[in-house]
């Protein structure tokens, strides 16, 4: 090496935004803060949900930290909460490779293709449960209040971006035992091993508001949970799917909608009304609040579910009950996709970003607060000559990492989740300053952001 020494690179995790319990003062972090390592070698970041954070260590342990009691939805969904990151209590022999969390449930895939899930009970399919009966869990009678808070988040009725942070007292184990008639009345569920068809090996996972998608090694998508807006892609408004179902992404969606006006970026003509979706399998998945998106191996995007803000990219605000090709992106090879509460973002093989859906807080990055029902290329000055490597969505914010290790964020910033040192929303991508390290991956939680970075030791 001509006398030059090769420096060892240490993997670091940074966090910013609202993670009550992550610091003694329980206040939002407005700038990146290095997560104490506690003896772990970090492997990846996985975002987290409402008030809690998740990352993966080198041996494949799922590490969690954050809130214990803010907003009852997050209680018990991430193991031992608090300032110190700790391994989540999954079976000791499992090694986690991918993990995801939504408002109040989590899902993780192991290196041998198994899936574990836990959290809000209605998001959990039947399966083998690990761990003893939870203590200190609110009984079912409190579920209506919690669900009401969640549905306010999901339904877009929050005024002025305000979110109730009312503390909910959690019943003691004794109270839970006295007021719950059986274990079935418990609101949250311990980790369970999801039962899939023999031979199915899962390689990736995604968690939505109340639904879950998982991706197998042969490119099949399985889903379960709530599907009232079509987010499970089964062709109907099925309200609850209690066991994993195969989602017909390619076969049943071979023919898309009329793409005749197509659309600003597409090149299809009106004769292409019935067209074969490029690709033979699915390579990536994403879940939003009530919608889903997937990418085929040929770089085509399919979206399905709630469409009120155009988050399915079809040029309308209709719900899509089956996976439907985002035809305006045909001809552009899409390699990454992420989804927030009301918006969707995609990255291309050329390093560009396309965004569509709700934009109330600038989360699309287009320079305005106008919703986009068709994918729009982000052509802002801050992203000129920038190639995007990874992208992630929080509830109402977005963050990306470039191939040269820079971080950009935009959208809602009430809790400092953009990492820019203030609480001012941004409607264009803005660079996050982190000295002395190179960003490798980013993962947004509901109101926070995690970053995996490398630094010379």
> Can you give the C-alpha Rg of the chain in angstroms?
21
Q: Which residues are CB-neighbours of 212 under 8 A, at least 6 positions away? A: 105, 107, 117, 123, 205, 206, 223, 224, 225, 287
Do residues 170 and 188 touch, judged by C-beta distance below 8 A? Answer: no
The per-residue pLDDT for range 374-397, each reduced to its tens digit, is: 999 999 999 998 999 999 999 999
Please say if the pLDDT value at position 296 is more than 70.
Answer: yes
More confident residue, 3 or 260: 3
Burial class (CB in 10 A: 0-12, 13-18, 19+), 187: buried
Residues 92, 202: Cα–Cα separation, whole Å: 19
The per-residue pLDDT for range 335-375, each reduced to its tens digit, is: 999 999 999 999 999 999 999 999 999 999 999 999 999 99
Among all chains, which residue has been given the structure tokens 């059986």? Answer: 182
Residue 149 tokens, joined: 């808070």
Strand order in the sheet with 438-444: 29-34, 9-17, 448-456, 438-444
Do residues 87 and 194 touch, judged by C-beta distance below 8 A? Answer: no
Give mean pLDDT, residues 429-454.
Answer: 96
Range picked from 20-29, 82-91, 118-127, 412-421 for highest mean pLDDT: 412-421
Residue 34: Cβ within 10 Å count: 14
Please say if the pLDDT value at position 142 is more than 80.
Answer: no
Please say if the pLDDT value at position 150 is more than 70.
Answer: no
More confident residue, 172 or 371: 371
Beta bridge partners of 120: 188
Q: What are phi and psi of 115, to 5 degrees?
A: -130, 130
Q: How far is CA 132 from the centre of its chain?
A: 28
Number of helices followed by number of strands (H, E) in the chain: 2, 29
Mean pLDDT (the chain, rounded): 81
Residue 164 tokens, joined: 């109730």
Do residues 57 and 42 touch, judged by C-beta distance below 8 A? Answer: yes
Among all chains, which residue has been given the structure tokens 């071979």? Answer: 254
Do residues 288 and 344 touch, judged by C-beta distance below 8 A? Answer: yes
- Percent of the chain at pLDDT > 70 equals 76
Give mean pLDDT, residues 257-265.
Answer: 36
pLDDT of residue 119: 87
Give mean pLDDT, residues 175-194.
Answer: 54
Do residues 98 and 204 touch, judged by C-beta distance below 8 A? Answer: yes
Helix (H, G, I), strand (E, B) or coil at 136: coil
Beta bridge partners of 214: 205, 222
Please say if the pLDDT value at position 435 is more than 80.
Answer: yes
CA–CA distances in Å: residue 203 to residues 61, 193, 215, 224, 326: 16, 15, 6, 17, 24
Pairing label, strands 282-287, 291-296? antiparallel
Please say if the pLDDT value at position 42 is more than 80.
Answer: yes
Residues 322, 223: Cα–Cα separation, whole Å: 13
Among all chains, which residue has been given the structure tokens 């899939």? Answer: 196
CA–CA distances in Å: residue 239 to residues 105, 137, 210, 230, 291: 18, 25, 11, 9, 14
Q: What structural domains and CATH numbers belong to the chain? A: 1-131+186-198+402-457 (no CATH), 201-379 (2.130.10.30)
Residue 254: Cβ within 10 Å count: 12
> What is the pLDDT confidence band of residue 80, given thresholds at 50, 70 and 90?
low
Please say if the pLDDT value at position 141 is more than 90.
Answer: no
């Amino acid at each position: 090496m001509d006398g030059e020494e090769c420096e060892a690179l240490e993997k670091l995790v940074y966090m910013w935004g609202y993670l009550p319990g992550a610091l003694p003062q329980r206040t939002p972090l407005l700038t990146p803060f290095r997560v104490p390592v506690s003896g772990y070698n970090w492997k990846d970041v996985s975002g987290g949900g409402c008030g809690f954070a998740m990352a993966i260590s080198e041996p494949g342990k799922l590490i969690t930290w954050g809130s214990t009691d803010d907003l009852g939805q997050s209680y018990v969904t991430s193991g031992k909460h608090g300032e110190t990151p700790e391994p989540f209590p999954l079976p000791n022999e499992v090694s986690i490779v991918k993990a995801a969390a939504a408002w109040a449930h989590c899902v993780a895939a192991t290196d041998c293709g198994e899936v574990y899930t836990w959290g809000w009970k209605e998001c959990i399919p039947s399966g083998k449960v690990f761990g003893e009966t939870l203590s200190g869990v609110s009984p079912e009678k409190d579920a209506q209040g919690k669900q009401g808070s969640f549905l306010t988040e999901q339904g877009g009725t929050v005024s002025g971006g305000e979110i109730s942070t009312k503390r909910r007292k959690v019943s003691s184990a004794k109270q839970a035992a006295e007021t719950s008639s059986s274990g079935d009345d418990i609101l949250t569920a311990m980790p369970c091993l999801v039962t899939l068809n023999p031979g199915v090996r899962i390689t990736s996972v995604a968690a939505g508001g109340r639904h879950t998608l998982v991706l197998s090694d042969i490119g099949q998508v399985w889903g379960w949970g709530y599907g009232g807006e079509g987010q499970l892609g089964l062709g109907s408004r099925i309200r609850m799917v209690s066991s994993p179902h195969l989602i017909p992404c390619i076969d049943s969606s071979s023919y898309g909608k009329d793409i005749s006006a197509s659309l600003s970026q597409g090149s299809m003509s009106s004769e292409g009304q019935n067209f074969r979706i490029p690709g033979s399998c699915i390579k990536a998945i994403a879940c939003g609040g009530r919608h889903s998106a997937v990418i085929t191996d040929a770089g085509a995007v399919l979206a399905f579910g709630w469409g009120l803000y155009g988050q399915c990219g079809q040029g309308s605000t209709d719900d899509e009950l089956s996976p439907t090709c985002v035809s305006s992106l045909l001809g552009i090879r899409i390699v990454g996709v992420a989804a927030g509460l009301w918006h969707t973002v995609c990255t291309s093989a050329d390093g560009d970003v396309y965004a569509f859906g709700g934009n109330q807080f600038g989360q699309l990055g287009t320079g305005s607060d106008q919703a986009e029902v068709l994918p729009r290329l982000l052509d802002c000055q801050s992203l000129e000559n920038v190639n995007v490597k990874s992208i992630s969505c929080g509830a109402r914010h977005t963050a990306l990492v470039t191939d040269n290790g820079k971080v950009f964020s935009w959208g809602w910033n009430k809790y400092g989740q953009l990492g820019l040192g203030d609480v001012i929303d941004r409607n264009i991508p803005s660079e996050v300053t982190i000295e002395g390290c190179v960003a490798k991956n980013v993962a947004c939680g509901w109101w926070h952001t995690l970053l995996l970075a490398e630094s010379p030791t």
